[in-house]
Amino acid sequence: MTEFFQSLPDGWTIYVWMVAGGLIIAAAIYGIAWAHHNEQFDEDIKYLVFDENDRDKMTPDEFKKSQAVNKQQEQRREEWLAEQARIKQQRHEKR
């Protein structure tokens, strides 16, 4: 194996680095696309830690926004669970 590497012309390592860099960029793009598809860039997520007991710690507008975000997330959760149940049922019916 050592003879093989020594027989290569000077400068071959740059190609290894270029391929590695390309793979890293491709993985980063795939990760960002996955995160976008799976709703990971939701800036309103900060409101999900609040509940009715935090009303006095927030302005009325923030509290209203918090309640709306919580309601929306609960609705999205129910939709997702229904979709997962439907997929599971379809898989079960195929057997």
pLDDT on residue 39: 80
Neighbouring residues of 21: CB distance < 8 A, sequence distance ≥ 6: none
Residue of higher predicted confidence among 84 and 41: 84
pLDDT digits (tens, 9 = 90+) for 17-61: 999 999 999 999 999 999 998 888 878 878 878 888 888 888 999
H helices within 1-95, ranges in order?
A: 2-7, 13-37, 60-94
Q: Count CB-CB contacts under 10 A for residue 69.
A: 17
CB 89 within 8 A of CB 66: no
Cα–Cα distance between 63 and 47 in angstroms, integer? 9
Radius of gyration of the chain (CA): 25
